[in-house]
Amino acid sequence: MSDSAKASGLPLDLVRHWGLSDIVLIADTRTSLVYRAGHNGKSVIVKALKPEGIGERSGFEFLRWRNGKGAVRIIEQSGDIVLLEDAGTLLLRDYHGQAGDKEATKIVVDVLARLHIPSASPLPPGLIPLHVHFRELFSLDTMQLALDLRDILVWCTDIARELLAHQDDIKPLHGDLHHDNIIGHQQGGWRSIDPHGLIGDPAYDCANIFGNPLNAARLVLDQQRAIDLSRCFATALKCSPQKILRYAAAHAGLSCAWILGRPLTPSGHTNLEERLGFARLARFILLEQFVD
């Protein structure tokens, strides 16, 4: 048994069974540990959920159901530890910095289309309905917030309730598609990683793109960019631009609720201001009917 296997913290019997070598920890998040390793002469990813990450089990179900279409494929699974294809090392966020927003958006549209290709397989169990996914926004005590926050978050909540009451074409969703969850390989091709594993209206699957990439407030709060994205995704998903933008605004409100539900860090405060700013921008665009 190699020193890397012993140092990884992964169960040694599982390391032997999967034939892993050269194990390197590449991410330690609140919910999981992620490793890159060798497996049958190829590079693979091992993701091990922490107790705080049990909510990501539905994401594993989604990946198994997609079976490589638009997302990384699960090779093996043992409880809350999965062996995944290695999608590569080029984040769409980094490519975005090189090629620009329009080229990156073309990739998002392509990945989104592959994620929504119908499957003959039965719907996976354990997917999270959108009304459950939005529970922290719906339960947010807005009366405890400053008046300006209360105003926009009540609006986001009302938008979310109305959207979820009138969903169309309900299907499995990635649920967390953004520039850090789409990865490319030197040999070409882009795939998504780390899905939430939701089920609901497909218009929600592009909502997170409006608030990304991270640390790009000028882009996120650009009115023309929001309008262009709404029209682009509306064409791809065959719905109205207003619907796309309303889902993006609802998601911005949900993101605010998540942030407000935890101790506020400096980065969290910055993220909160961006999400609030985008929600206000979306409301302005919708009220002024700049999308049709």
Active site residues: 176
Tokens matching residue 8 = 């990884």
* Residue carrying structure tokens 């009451």: 165
Closest CA to 281 of 229, 215, 213, 214: 229
Q: What are phi and psi of 84, to 5 degrees?
A: -120, 155
Q: Cβ(74)–Cβ(60) under 8 Å?
A: yes
Closest CA to 211 of 164, 157, 266, 259: 259
The CA distance from 117 to 45, in Å, is 25
The CA distance from 31 to 87, in Å, is 20
